[in-house]
Amino acid sequence: MDYRGVKAITHASAFFAPFLVPIIVWLLMQERDAKNMALQALLFHLFMSILISISWILSFVLIGIPFLIVFGLMAIYYPIKGIIYSLQGRPFHYPLLGSIVR
């Protein structure tokens, strides 16, 4: 069975429920590929939240502003790329996490 819609919603959850949707998909899906994608999305959202929080704190010292911009753009770009790849049926792996979660 093709789970393109589920994978796309998992990626899109970065914009409305970054932790809840991947956890639900990971718990409920039976397909290994969909479970791996949900785990990757969950870890990516978690790491981006941590990195953006640290950058925000460091922005008071001005050193965190470039990191805040870069991590913010990454948090927007990669979920959108994942949505597009999922709808096209192409495999997508988050940077660094794709090789860890398999």
Q: Looking at the domain assignment, is residue 100 inside a domain?
A: no
Answer whether 12's CB lies under 8 Å from 83's CB: yes
Q: Looking at the domain assignment, is residue 55 inside a domain?
A: yes
When divided into structural domains, the chain yields a total of: 1
Q: How far apart are CA 37 and CA 35, in angstroms?
A: 5
Which pLDDT band, with edges at 50, 70 and 90, does 101 fall under? low
Answer whether 4's CB lies under 8 Å from 87's CB: yes
Q: Looking at the domain assignment, is residue 34 inside a domain?
A: yes
The model carries a pTM of: 0.82
Q: Looking at the domain assignment, is residue 11 inside a domain?
A: yes
Range of the domain at 34: 3-88
Q: Looking at the domain assignment, is residue 94 inside a domain?
A: no
Q: Looking at the domain assignment, is residue 101 inside a domain?
A: no
Would you give the distance in Å from CA 84 to the centre of its chain? 13
Q: How far apart are CA 17 and CA 58, in angstroms?
A: 26
pLDDT at 60: 81
Percent of the chain with pLDDT over 90: 28
